[in-house]
Amino acid sequence: MKAWEHLKTISHHKLLVMENCFAVGLYKQGLLHDLSKYSPAEFFVGCKYYQGNRSPNAAERETRGYSSAWLHHKGRNKHHFEYWIDVDTDKGCQIAGMKMPVKYVIEMFMDRIAASKTYKKEAYTDRSPWEYYVRRKDVMVIHPVSRRQLEFLLKKLARDGEQETFRYIREEIMQKKPK
C-alpha cells in the first residue's frame, strides 16, 4: 500500500512541476524533472519511509541520521541548490554555493510550488512556498545571486499570484538572451 501511495505522490508532484515548467517554456526540464525518484535507490527508500504529509527523506533522516535517497537525489538534479555546492578556492577552499543557471532557479521555484501543493493539499496558498523557504533559508548554502532570484520569485508569487508570476517568468526572464 505504501508503495502505491508513494508512487501516486511522486507522480502527482512531477506532473505539477511539469505543467508549471511547460507554462513558462521549460519543456525539457518539465519532462525530465525528478526522474531519479523512480530509481531503486530513491523509490524503495521512499516507499519504506512514506507518510503522505511530508517527504520520506525527512523520516529516513530522523531514523538513520541521514537520508540515502536525498544524497542520491540532490547529486542528480540540478534544480536543487545543494547540487551546486562546491569548494570555493577564492575563499580559502571553503564550501560555498555556486551560481545556478537561471533555468534551474526557475525549476527550483516550480519544485517548491509543487511540493507545497502536494503536502499542504487544500491548505496551500500562494504564500506557502515562501513560508516554507523562510523556515529554512538561514541554513541554505546557496550563491547570493541564486538566492536573490529565488526569493524574488517566491515573494512575487506570494504577492501577485501564480498567473502573474508565471507571466513574468515567461515574458521577462525567459525572453532575455544569455550574455
Domain residue spans in the chain? 2-173
How does pLDDT run across 96-148, given as a tens digit for each residue? 999 999 999 999 999 999 999 999 999 999 999 999 999 999 999 999 999 99
CA distance 89 to 28: 33
Q: Which three cell numbers stand for residue 86?
A: 562546491
CB 17 within 8 A of CB 34: yes
Give the pTM.
0.94
Amino acid 178: pLDDT: 57
66: amino acid identity, one letter: Y
Q: Determine if residue 136 is left, alpha or beta; phi over 0 gives left, psi from -120 to 50 gives alpha, anything else beta.
A: alpha
